Amino acid sequence: MTVVYSAECKAIQKANRSSGMLPLLVVLFVLSYAILTLLVVEQGRTIESQRFLIREMVKDSSQLAELKGKMARDESLKARQKALDGAGRSAGQKILSALPKHPARTARELASRETCRKKFPADLTRICKT
């Protein structure tokens, strides 16, 4: 018995080799998508934790601004009381009337007023509330 090799036989052998790589490629494809999915989940967790930290920072900042405003009001009241006690009753009333009737402005209001003055130096009375 003799076996004859032909071109058709070699083409069939090459087709069988490439189909042998197919399961390996499918496994690598599935593995790469699993890793990509894990990456997306971790990025979501990171974004959520950053969002939480930003909210906490904003809350702390507002509490700090409120505390600064209270401290400024307390200092203003102490200055008024000290002026009233040191100058006597009649002189104290004059000093008290000279002091501003508003409670101390918050740091945010003062900063916005300064920014306004820097932007519009020509017409402060109309644009910036003083």
- Do 87 and 95 touch, CB atoms closer than 8 A? yes
**Hey, where are the domains in the chain?**
7-99, 105-130
Write out pLDDT tens, residues 23-69.
Answer: 999 999 999 999 999 999 999 999 999 999 999 999 999 999 999 99
Task: Say how many residues make up the chain.
Answer: 130
Give the N- to C-terminal CA distance of the chain in Å, as an integer. 113
12 to 1, 3, 6, 7, 16: CA distances (angstroms): 22, 16, 10, 9, 6
Mean pLDDT, rounded, of the chain: 78
pTM value is 0.44
Q: What is the pLDDT of residues 11-25, one digit of tens each?
A: 666 656 667 889 999
